[in-house]
Structure 1
Amino acid sequence: MTIKNTRMKNAKQGLQAKFHLQHSKSRFALNVDLTLPDSGVTAIFGESGSGKTTLLRCIAGLEKAQQGHFVMKGETWQSDTSFLPTHKRSLGYVFQESSLFPHLTAKGNLDYAIKRSGIPLPAHLYDQVINLMGIESILANNSQQLSGGEKQRVAIARALLIQPTLLLMDEPLASLDNARKHEILPYLEKLKSTLKTPILYVSHSVEEVMRLADHVVLMHNGQVATQGSVADVFSQLKSPLLMNHDTSVIWQGKIVEQDDKWHLSKVSCSGTELWLRNNGDALGQTIRVRILATDVSLTLTHHDDSSIVNKLPVTVLDIVPDQDPAMALIKLKTEQNTLIARLTYRSVDHLALTAGKTLWAQIKSVALVR
């Protein structure tokens, strides 16, 4: 069955992908029909074996679907009658491994990509990409001398310098340890906010997706389970693919106040205000925060005698079973945002929770993700 999704208004300017691919040996089938935004970061998210990388390879032309159709901003890369080979598609591809040429310096790898692209390089773009990825100090180093994080930053710069219409990133942080991942994530954030190139980002990391993505495609068994904004997708309760100890919501807001005495910042998220640890962000800066369901508790009345700073009036929207039979997920409505609490069924019964009930949510911790 083909999973069809609502087409966007400017479909001719977006990314239209329709693929049916059957692997006879593995019995895996990819069957998708998507129209995606032509800007920002779209995360292709799902468990291992869900078809994320296969979809990306079909878009790149590295794998040919038996039935395929892909249009990139009005240009057809694959149809029933045509197939544009990978080297003729205006795309950059960043793999799990950096795949740099070991006999070349970092600069040599970049120069090779520029030469192979065959497109004149604007004078400002080279410096912009170098500064964006923070690699000026390592350009003269042989690629074998670079750390894993440095190699990936060079690989991303190399992909950008061919001036692609589309940038594909296949689990670019998967081979890095946590320290190197956190080293490179800020560069990816700068990348998405500085350049207009649309990015398709494959990952099975909730943290990476919540931090980087604007739009999310959730894959399962070679099909699209759901898609939408990162906030909408991760606030869905009835998808078993999203039910675990990482269940959470994403809110976006601006820093409106800073308390230097207690090292806290106040963030306004569509009228709802939260206090969180001051991470050095400036007043007026837009940030993204993540609230785990396990960090939300519920009370029938407002409590002043509590160590928890963030307390919000909420209304119960829905109650669904968690994967753990002892637990339930409670979807809540604040003024303009959605919140999720993970409670035992004993607590649900004790508080007599039902849809429409009003009470107070206490948020134990708010994590800054951007």
Structure 2
Amino acid sequence: FGPSGSGKTTLINMIAGLIRPDKGRIEADGRVLVDTDAGRFVPKHKRRIGMVFQDARLFPHMSVASNLRYGRWFTPTAERYADIKAVVDLLGIGALLDRRPAKLSGGEKQRVAIGRALLASPKLLLMDEPLASLDEARKAEILPYIERLRDETKIPIVYVSHSISEVARLASDVVVLAQGKVAACGPTGAIMQRLDLLPAEERGEGGAVLDTAVLGHDDVFGMTVLGSVAGEIRVPLLA
């Protein structure tokens, strides 16, 4: 998390292997990807990392189904764990398989891009502001799918964002970047209370993160009832 120019995309590109750092060490799940002192730099196609960019970057001449299958080609058969049908169902893109990218909405393109990354059976998923180019309606459409991705696949995700609402909804832990350095890191609930860490234009958006459970829905009044340690909380209807 951090303002534009703070180094978020540079950092995620280093993890992906798209940028070679001048000095440093990158390790993921005990596997050293970069160690400049030791002269180690694992090529990007051997890192087993999936990446979703701001723009979907789908192949325009391929159908959705072909774009999805492309993600599998670079993964050895014995190491493939992602099932095409399961990924299609997870992202709700079954009706799109025969279409070309030009016939998709922005939200649909991003869901396909996420599916392509998943079908590479990655050990780590990188998402570089995947909602930045979408309007509010499309963001609302795709956020539930990213939540399902987080909760159901159990793949570690490094999610880059400058949106407080996205961070509060999706993140378990937050690293705040400022001018190329780590300003703070910790659980989302703790970081969200630190208004001093937010960009000046966003300091009015600080808040708290509450752990709640959905108790029920009130369709008559269009509300959802949440249960928390503080009691019941009613919010606008959650789909």
- TM-score, structure 1 normalization: 0.60
Instruction: After superposition, give the CA deviation of every residue in 1:339-370 in whole Å (9 maximum; x if it has no partner).
Output: xxxxxxxxxxxxxxxxxxxxxxxxxxxxxxxx
Q: Counterpart in 2 of 1:78?
A: 34
Give the aligned partner of residue 219 of structure 1. Answer: 177
Q: Structure 2: which amino acid aligns with 1:175? A: S
Which residue of the other structure, out of 222, 230, 234, is the alignment partner of 1:272? 230
Aligned counterpart, 2:210: 251
Equivalent residue number for residue 188 of structure 1: 146
Q: Give the whole-Å Cα distance in 2 for the aligned partners of 1:177 and 1:258.
A: 27
Instruction: Report how many aligned residue pairs link the two structures.
Output: 236
The offset of 1:57, in angstroms, is: 0.8
Work out the CA distance in 2 between the residues paired with 1:255 and 1:188.
19
Could you tell me which residue of structure 2 aligns to residue 53 of structure 1? 9
Q: Equivalents in 1 of 2:82, 2:28: separation in Å?
A: 26
Question: For residue 70 of structure 2, what is the aligned residue in structure 1?
Answer: 112
Contact 1:258–1:278 at 8 Å: present in 2 too?
no
Aligned-pair CA distance for 1:274? 3.9
Question: Which residue number in structure 2 is paired with residue 170 of structure 1?
Answer: 128
Contact kept? 1:148, 1:180, Cα under 8 Å: yes
Name the structure 1 match of 2:110.
152
Corresponding letter in the other structure for 2:203? N
My pick for the range that moved more, 151-160 or 104-113, is 104-113
Query: Alpha carbons of 1:118 and 1:280: their partners in 2 closer, same or farther (altered >3 Å)?
Result: same
Q: Aligned-pair distance for 1:232?
A: 0.6
> What is residue 98 of structure 2 aligned with on the other side?
140
Is the contact made by 1:266 and 1:273 (CA closer than 8 Å) also made in structure 2? no
Q: What residue in structure 2 maps to residue 4 of structure 1? A: none
**Residue deviations 1:183-215, cap 9 Å, x none?**
111111111110011000001111111111111
Per the alignment, in what secondary structure is the counterpart of residue 99 of structure 2?
Answer: coil
Larger Rg: 1
Would the aligned equivalents of 1:264 and 1:275 in 2 still touch at CA under 8 Å? Answer: no
1:103 equivalent in alignment to 2:45: no
Report which structure shows greater RCO (CA 8 Å, sep ≥6). 2
Q: Unaligned stretches of 5+ in structure 1?
A: 1-44, 282-370
Tell me the CA shift for residue 241 of structure 1.
3.5
RMSD (CA atoms):
2.2
User: In structure 2, do the counterparts of structure 1 residues 273 and 89 end up closer, same or farther at CA, with 3 Å as the change threshold?
Assistant: same
SS of corresponding position for 1:66: coil
Distance 1:122 1:50, change over 3 A: closer
Aligned to 1:230: 188
Aligned in 2, Cα 1:263/1:141: closer, same or farther, shift over 3 Å? closer
Normalising to structure 2: TM-score of the pair?
0.90
- In structure 1, the residue matched to 2:119 is 161
Counterparts of 1:257 and 1:177, CA distance in 2: 29
- Percent identity over the alignment is 42
Tell me if the contact between 1:48 and 1:204 (Cα under 8 Å) persists in the aligned partners: yes
What is the CA–CA distance in structure 2 between the aligned matches of 1:217 and 1:160, rounded to whole Å?
Answer: 24
User: In the aligned structure 1, how far is the partner of 2:225 from the partner of 2:103?
Assistant: 43
Q: Which of the pair is proportionally richer in helix?
A: 2
